[in-house]
A and B are shown apart, each in its own frame.
Chain A
Amino acid sequence: MVSVQIIVLLSIWQSFPAGLIPSPLRIGEALGGLLTSSLLWDNVLVSLLLTLKALLFSVVITLVFAYLSVVPFFRPLAHFIVKCRYLTLTGLIFIFTLLTRDGSQLKLSLLVFGIVPFFTTSFLSVITHTNAQEFELCQTLGYGRWQSLYEVIVVGKADQVFEIVRQNFAIAWMMITMVEGLSMSEGGVGTLLIKYNKYNDLVHVMALQAVIFGLGLFFDHLLGRLRHWFFPYTKL
């Protein structure tokens, strides 16, 4: 059904008179060329490594602050991080440039800064909506405060942390093209995209967008599968 809809859509697009927007066939040709070139895969690898590194840092930072947020002293800090969603990255680039050693660190820190507030928001929401009966069952089993927190929040919410990682991978993957434009020496899909844009090579821009889109969908699916594998009860 979906395949038919896509084919119909592409056929309509193809039937439009040639203008500034390239036709699907031309994009397809460019995509074929890109997929067989090492240029694309080298740059994809750079972007993927940076995204995964940023995700790893973000997960660690978020979990530390989110777990600590159950202690009243640390709650305001966690809530401040949530509010940081409204800070624009563009306005902070200069400060981050001063604080970091090189372009690689700059990209990583900007990505982490961009992801952590969204990640924290999602995870705090999970913690806030914890069923009170989960803690009560711990109490009736004679658990202490820390033991209850470990069971309910750390173990009990691990599957939801994984789901949040999956959702935030999308944010990181979307931001990667932006931050890679800040330091182009290391390459990456963002750098490649900027280069094609610079020469107004719309055919390759669209082909690269298709690759970025496809890879995003692939990793979303992969993370979903991994979640079911690690936490079988999420399938029930």
Chain B
Amino acid sequence: MTIYSKGETLLQVKDLSLTYDNKCILHDINFSIEDIIRPGIQQGQVVSLIGRSGIGKTQLFRILSGLQKPDKGEILVRESTPWSLRPVHAGDMGVIFQNYYQFGWRTVEQSLRLAAHQNKALTGHETEAISEYAAQFDLSDVLKRYPRQLSGGQQQRVSIIQQLLKGSDFLLLDEPFSGLDVCVLDKVVSLLLKVSLSHEFKTLIIVSHDITTTVAISDTVFILGRQPGIEGSTIVRSIDLMERGLAWQDHVHEEKAFVETIREIKDCL
């Protein structure tokens, strides 16, 4: 069993509700994400939000990213100095949209530079940071291209680098595995794992309906579902994969406990 402990709260969702057109979409969403501490490793957090299509995942994604206000409740994120929690604002979270949207009028390099300029820690070193990330993510050859000239995988990597350059600890990904072929899927998975290991507070929140892939790289799973007789969705179950010894394992798919966990999640949906 891997040794780990949990530290300070990095994100807290409290009593979140959303109605649209007098219809309850989300109600009483409560969960928190804590810093995972592993001796000798900069271990970030990978949390998955799983739910069926049309359950309200996108709305929750938008609220978490600060792009949409909930009707009730709040989302608090870690403030580094002084250590405290404060309400989330648009821009606090790095957001990777499902369609990897980028400014069509900017080359990859220009888009990355815009993001780097937002990060005070990179002031004066933007060019070096862009080159470094581009090399690391195999994008050095496409820096002068426009988004329309990139493949889906390249667009996704540009979106990820852009948000990493911006410097936020949180990275929200909307369906990052949808529409990817097997080879690209493996690359994306290792890419996300690499990102999660880049900093102690780096936290990936993956909103997806691809259960197997998402759970395989997560340390915690929150299941968004419906309770009988209650309108709207809420977190119906949370699973600590670290407790079950299923986090940070290379061949987790082959483990019996993993297969059982997947079945358990499917039963909750």
Contact = CB atoms under 8 A, between A and B. Distances in A.
B90 A139 contact: yes
Chain A interface main SS type: helix
B97 A142 contact: no
Interface in A116-170: 133-134, 136-137, 139-143, 151, 155-156, 158-159
B118 A155 contact: no
Nearest to A140: B95
Given A151-B103, A156-B103, A139 B66 contact: yes
Interface string A195-236: 000000000000000000000000000000000000111001
Interface in B95-114: 95, 97, 99, 101-105, 114
B91 interface: yes
Contacts of A142: 90-91, 118, 166
Interface in B115-169: 115, 118, 146, 148-149, 162-163, 166
A137 B96 CA distance: 9
B93 interface: yes
B65 A140 contact: yes
A231 B105 CA distance: 8
A155 B65 CA distance: 25
Nearest to A133: B101
Contact of A156 (B94, B105, B163): B105
* Interface SS majority for chain B: loop
B118 A141 contact: yes
B90 to A, nearest CB: 4
Given A140-B95, A233-B146, A236-B148, A159 B114 contact: no
A139 B146 contact: no
A236 B147 CA distance: 10
A168 B173 CA distance: 43
A137 B101 contact: yes
A201 B90 CA distance: 69
Contact of B103 (A134, A139, A158, A236): A134
A146 to B, nearest CB: 14
Nearest to B97: A133
Interface of A: 133-134, 136-137, 139-143, 151, 155-156, 158-159, 231-233, 236
Closest 8 CB pairs of A and B: A142-B91, A139-B90, A140-B95, A236-B148, A233-B146, A133-B101, A142-B118, A156-B105
Given A137-B102, A159-B105, A233-B148, 19 more contacts: A133-B99, A134-B103, A136-B95, A136-B97, A137-B97, A139-B90, A140-B94, A141-B91, A141-B114, A142-B118, A143-B91, A151-B103, A151-B114, A155-B105, A156-B104, A156-B105, A158-B105, A233-B104, A236-B146
